[in-house]
């Protein structure tokens, strides 16, 4: 599989897939064809090229729906998971919540699943509660069950933590939310590249993810929502494509998903996302999950043998290992590793409340993809050994 990724040269260990994945050649080819051979606008032109591109665009929507177990009319194309969450916050929470209602988040959420809810809560006078973590750094669903009240109208949780790799029992979380009448949004950015996802089985109400973490292009993402919820939501933005009819006396809007796709979309991004889904499914998400689980286990075992290293997250983390080296700032760790051609992420990973809970300013994070293998872990360990020699 490594041969499919032209941006990964021999000898370079790319361990930052949780931030963004490298792109396989089939995705690059699909994007190139989209711009160089088949490009035209969608949903507007009556000429053949435009009609063909419209068919390709909507075929991608069907592909996404099949990929996550939803319906075609429930798939909204957005710029990424961040925009998807903002859309739900503005169009669903902004119209359904009232002063005194409560929103439930968790300690490990990405800023994109915190700040939009804070903004809407401040606007309408709602309150935010935060579920703590278990001792092995999972969202504590027992604590969540004890915290939930009929005043909670929305729960928003990460399916897989972008820092810890801990996997949420999303089906149980959805059942708990629904037991008090709350809706639940699941942030699937780190889940969809790593494991099979079926929104019908999870029984969630909204599910979001970004294409660029799924071996696809940047600037494209997906909001899945139950159709009856989307149909009751007002538009997020106004413009072309999302209308039924416009007059100065008033405007009527298209049904979902078109209602939420104002303006000319990221046409080739959608085509690239289709190719990315085809790519991961040609490998098999079950196979990808087993591959990354094995790499995590190997990396954690090797890191645990280094006395200066502190590991975060559970042993069965999905594709992600966060750690710190005693007495060394993660940025210094990452810099020295880069000198040895090992690329990791260092910082707060857009999860500052989680850093506060862990009692650290930042962590170093190695995250895996289909292109990684045992030699990348060897490079990581060799680099950390060099870090400890340099810093004593």
Residue 375 shares a structural domain with residue 263: no
Which 3 state secondary structure label does DSSP give 139?
strand
Please say which residue of 222, 249, 281 terminates a domain.
Answer: 281
Q: What is the CATH number of the domain that holds 8?
A: 3.90.1150.10
Cα(383)–Cα(12) distance, integer angstroms? 12
pLDDT for the residue numbered 1: 78
Burial class (CB in 10 A: 0-12, 13-18, 19+), 100: exposed
Q: Is the CB of residue 33 less than 8 Å from the CB of residue 53? A: no
Residue 274 shares a structural domain with residue 299: no
pLDDT for the residue numbered 293: 96
pLDDT for the residue numbered 44: 84
Residue 269 shares a structural domain with residue 226: yes
Residue 276 shares a structural domain with residue 372: no
Residue 270 shares a structural domain with residue 309: no
Q: What is the CATH number of the domain that holds 135?
A: 3.40.640.10
Q: Both tokens of residue 253? A: 């809007």
Q: What φ, ψ does residue 302 adopt, rounded to 5°? A: -70, -40
How many C-beta neighbours within 10 Å does residue 245 have? 9
The structure's pTM equals 0.97
Residues 6+ apart with CB under 8 A from 178: 184, 203
Cα(180)–Cα(148) distance, integer angstroms? 7
Residues pairing with 366 in the sheet: 321
Residues 6+ apart with CB under 8 A from 338: none
Cα(67)–Cα(9) distance, integer angstroms? 30
368 CB-side CA count, 13 A: 29
Which 3 state secondary structure label does DSSP give 186?
strand
Residue 263 shares a structural domain with residue 376: no
pLDDT for the residue numbered 45: 82
Q: Is the CB of residue 103 less than 8 Å from the CB of residue 151? A: no
Residue 6 shares a structural domain with residue 59: no
The residue range of the domain holding 189 is 26-281
Which of 229, 350, 355, 360 is catalytic? The answer is: 350
Helix crossing, 25-36 with 267-283: angle to 10°? 150
* Count of structural domains within the chain: 2
Residue 312 shares a structural domain with residue 289: yes
Residue 96 shares a structural domain with residue 244: yes
Residue 277 shares a structural domain with residue 165: yes
Please say which residue of 251, 281, 311 terminates a domain.
Answer: 281
Peptide bond into 6 cis (omega under 30): no
Cα(309)–Cα(320) distance, integer angstroms? 16
Residue 333 shares a structural domain with residue 251: no
350 is catalytic: yes
Cα(164)–Cα(292) distance, integer angstroms? 14
Please say which residue of 255, 281, 307 terminates a domain.
Answer: 281
Residue 369 shares a structural domain with residue 276: no
Query: For each of the chain's 392 residues, which pLDDT tens digit applies?
Result: 789 999 999 999 999 999 999 999 999 999 999 999 999 999 988 899 999 999 999 999 999 999 999 999 999 999 999 999 999 999 999 999 999 999 999 999 999 999 999 999 999 999 999 999 999 999 999 999 999 999 999 999 999 999 999 999 999 999 999 999 999 999 999 999 999 999 999 999 999 999 999 999 999 999 999 999 999 999 999 999 899 999 999 999 999 999 999 999 999 999 999 999 999 999 999 999 999 999 999 999 999 999 999 999 999 999 999 999 999 999 999 999 999 999 999 999 999 999 999 999 999 999 999 999 999 999 999 999 999 999 97
Q: Is the CB of residue 321 less than 8 Å from the CB of residue 365? A: yes
Residues 6+ apart with CB under 8 A from 332: 387, 391
Q: Is the CB of residue 69 less than 8 Å from the CB of residue 199? A: yes
């Amino acid at each position: 599989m490594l041969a499919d990724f032209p941006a990964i040269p021999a000898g370079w260990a790319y361990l930052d897939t949780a931030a963004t994945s490298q792109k396989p050649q089939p995705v690059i080819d699909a994007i190139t064809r989209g711009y160089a051979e088949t490009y035209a606008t969608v949903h507007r032109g009556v000429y053949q090229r435009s009609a063909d591109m419209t068919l390709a665009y909507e075929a991608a929507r069907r592909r996404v729906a099949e990929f996550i177990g939803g319906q075609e009319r429930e798939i909204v194309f957005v710029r990424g998971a961040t925009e998807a969450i903002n859309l739900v916050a503005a169009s669903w929470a902004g119209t359904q919540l009232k002063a005194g209602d409560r929103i439930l988040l968790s300690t490990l959420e990405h800023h994109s699943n915190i700040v939009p809810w804070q903004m809407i809560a401040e606007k309408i006078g709602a309150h935010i509660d935060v579920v703590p973590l278990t001792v092995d750094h999972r969202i504590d669903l027992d604590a969540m069950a004890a915290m939930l009240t009929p005043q909670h109208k929305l729960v928003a949780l990460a399916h897989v933590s972008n820092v810890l790799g801990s996997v949420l029992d999303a089906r149980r979380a959805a059942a708990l939310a629904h037991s008090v009448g709350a809706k639940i949004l699941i942030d699937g950015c780190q889940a969809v590249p790593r494991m099979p996802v079926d929104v019908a089985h999870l029984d969630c109400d909204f599910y979001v993810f970004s294409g660029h973490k799924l071996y696809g292009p940047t600037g494209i993402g997906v909001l899945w929502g139950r159709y009856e919820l989307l149909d009751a939501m007002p538009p997020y933005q106004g413009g072309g494509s999302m209308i039924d009819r416009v007059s100065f006396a008033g405007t009527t809007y298209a049904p979902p998903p078109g209602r939420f796709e104002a303006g000319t979309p990221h046409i080739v991004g959608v085509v690239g996302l289709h190719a990315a889904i085809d790519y991961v499914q040609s490998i098999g998400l079950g196979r990808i999950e087993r591959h990354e689980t094995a790499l995590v286990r190997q990396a954690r075992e090797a890191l645990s043998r280094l006395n200066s290293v502190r590991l975060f997250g559970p042993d069965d983390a999905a594709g992600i290992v966060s750690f710190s080296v005693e007495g060394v700032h993660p940025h210094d760790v990452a810099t020295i590793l880069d000198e040895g051609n090992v690329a990791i992420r260092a910082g707060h990973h857009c999860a500052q409340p989680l850093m506060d809970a862990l009692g650290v300013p930042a962590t170093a994070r190695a995250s895996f993809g289909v292109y990684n293998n045992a030699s990348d872990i060897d490079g990581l360990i060799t680099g950390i050994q060099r870090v400890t020699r340099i810093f004593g």
